[in-house]
Chains A and B, each alone.
Chain A
């Protein structure tokens, strides 16, 4: 008598249950569609970048980057004021937003912790990152331009700074959070005060992430159009002054010229678009390089 019950009825592994082939096919098709999704996203990216390069490459020369802007009807290079404006305004915005943002992030993570104020600020910072840039433009318009009665680069810089700051605050907050507590304790144990600990130990440790976040914020600001439309006015001659007189920027010029019926203006729009993309891409790639380079060093 065998002590064991009859073997369970089983099929060969090579003859799957009915429906198994269908399931396998569905899985393969799904994987195919999923892969397709990636290529669908690739199409606009490649299309836009290639087209901008194609249309704008001819425009790019030294004259284009420095000459004053001709009238719409004219052909010929000239986006100097816009290039200068973009650099000036984005630069000024960065100089306001980044220090304040980093300090704010330091407050949140190093001093605020879980306190009520810190939670409120964190929440509001997240809200602020969602505010449409056009609203920032309107805000600076009503708050600054209406009072000073004149558009200038500084107003534009303020608007961009309002856009950048919450991004920098949140990035700094998160990066500081990643710094292990033991680092801080080691510094305190040596007699260092909190501010010194932050300055000499915590910040350097979190620096790559913070710098990377700041660079990405700059890249985003450089491409913004709506906040500038309401705040800087327009010029055709380069204006390096922050406070005196209106200014212009690459993004604003592209917007203007996109709606222009004149091919000369449209050509310049493409050149400006290429210039703008190059600037934005450079900052984006720099941000990634910073992260990659420093994280490798830290784990080495």
Chain B
């Protein structure tokens, strides 16, 4: 790792020039140097400014909602704009449900791809595979949504009804798979689409962590007669625990914020239900779908949803960092 702080230039200020002509130039040069430094500082401060403004302006515009509903804004399940009720619990629930479904689908696949690139595939295949997976990330969310509408919805609707009737008598599954959506728009559909979208970032982080497994650890495992899979479980996974947790949390953060694709396939039905195959709604999706017709407190509520979403993203990020630190301490793994 190269050092973080570059050498301090003040100590290396050039010696004063003897010529009078140069004196003017030197003063100008120093002024230009200062100006550049201030410009750079400005760029850095923009982050503070913008974040501060985001927090401030959205929160103030959302106050009417908080004032009207109090804690119930987020904790009561009563989203009924027609009657001026804006309890968003169902939306919070939906957001996390979709996130959980997406993680359930994306994490195993991502870990698999990361292992493929670092341990299984021949060296020459690694770079093209990485490119291909990153291309998945390049496709805009709205295009995924468009494709899902015209390609996924119908087959999924059929699949859902088949699964639903097949599990109609199995205890837990029958609740999870009851009331399948006739259009195919459901929590599960949103989960699938979001899973596709968060796979590249989870893969990328996991891949980097796997790749840093020290060769000495792998040799230790092989030296004891491990097969390749045993080596992965014995050396790569324990070493990478913290990184994988971090990747999962980052994936969750992305999943929470996914808006457009979710809006197009989730069915816009605000309810807290365990029917994974039925329609639902998330905070981001509600904002985007309902903003057009909203005014007054309604609009304030939607902006407030944005504030909650913002806060959640930050919380997930901090939880990620906390979890990673704890996992690393337990295994004694060196970061």
Contacts and interface: CB of A to CB of B under 8 A. Distances in A.
Q: Do chains A and B touch in the complex (CB under 8 A)?
A: yes
Interface of A: 23-24, 26-27, 30-31, 33-38, 40-42, 44-45, 47-49, 51-52, 55, 99-114, 117-118, 120-121, 124-128, 130-136, 138-139, 142-143, 146, 162, 165-166, 169, 177-181, 184-185, 188-189, 191, 193-199, 219, 222-226, 229-230, 251, 254-255, 258-259, 266, 269-270, 273, 276-277, 280-281, 284, 288
A198 B36 CA distance: 10
Given A120-B48, A169-B47, A107 B40 contact: yes
Given A180-B2, A258-B142, A273-B143, A127 B51 contact: yes
Contacts of B257: 130-135
Q: Which of B51, B121, B146 has the most CB of A within 10 A?
A: B146
A41 B133 contact: yes
Contacts of B302: 138
Contact of A36 (B30, B33, B112, B310): B112
Interface in B71-110: 108-110
A111 B40 contact: yes
Interface residues of B, number: 96
A104 B146 contact: no
- The 5 tightest CB contacts between A and B, nearest first, are A37-B112, A223-B140, A132-B257, A103-B43, A104-B43
Contact of B109 (A37, A120, A165, A189): A37
25 contacts: A23-B227, A27-B228, A31-B228, A41-B109, A52-B143, A55-B150, A104-B45, A104-B47, A111-B41, A113-B5, A132-B313, A135-B257, A135-B307, A135-B309, A139-B306, A142-B303, A165-B47, A185-B7, A188-B7, A226-B284, A229-B288, A229-B291, A254-B143, A259-B264, A280-B138
Contacts of A45: 132, 135-136, 139
B4 to A, nearest CB: 6
A194 B317 contact: no
Given A132-B309, A181-B2, A225 B140 contact: yes
Contacts of B2: 177-181
B303 A251 contact: no
B317 A132 contact: no
B40 A103 contact: yes
B145 A195 contact: no
Contacts of A281: 135, 138
Residue in B12, B309, B316 whose Cβ sees the most chain A Cβ within 10 Å: B12
A291 to B, nearest CB: 11
Interface in B115-157: 115-116, 119-121, 129, 131-136, 138-147, 149-151
Nearest to A192: B14
B208 interface: no
Interface of B: 2-7, 9, 12-14, 29-30, 32-33, 35-37, 39-48, 50-51, 53-54, 57-58, 61, 108-113, 115-116, 119-121, 129, 131-136, 138-147, 149-151, 196, 199, 203, 227-230, 232, 250, 253-254, 256-260, 264, 284, 287-288, 291, 302-303, 306-307, 309-310, 313-314, 316-317
A47 B44 contact: no
Contacts of A34: 112, 115-116, 119-120
Contacts of B45: 104, 121
A101 B5 CA distance: 19
Contacts of A101: 43
A225 B40 contact: no
A30 B33 contact: no
Nearest to A184: B6
Given A41-B199, A165-B46, A31 B120 contact: yes
A135 B54 contact: yes
Contacts of A270: 146
A107 B37 CA distance: 7
A110 B33 CA distance: 13
B140 A276 contact: yes
Given A52-B147, A103-B43, A132-B259, A127 B6 contact: no
Contacts of A230: 291
Contact of A138 (B32, B151, B303, B313): B303
A136 B54 contact: yes
A47 B324 CA distance: 36
B29 A193 contact: yes
A135 B58 contact: yes
A215 to B, nearest CB: 11
Contacts of A133: 257, 259
A224 B54 contact: no
Nearest to B256: A132
Contacts of B40: 103-104, 106-107, 110-111
Nearest to A32: B120
A124 B309 contact: no
A40 B106 CA distance: 10
Given A103-B42, A124-B48, 10 more contacts: A51-B147, A103-B44, A111-B37, A111-B41, A124-B51, A134-B288, A195-B36, A224-B141, A229-B288, A273-B142
B138 A284 contact: yes
Given A100-B43, A259-B264, A181 B6 contact: yes
A38 B111 CA distance: 10
A284 B138 CA distance: 7
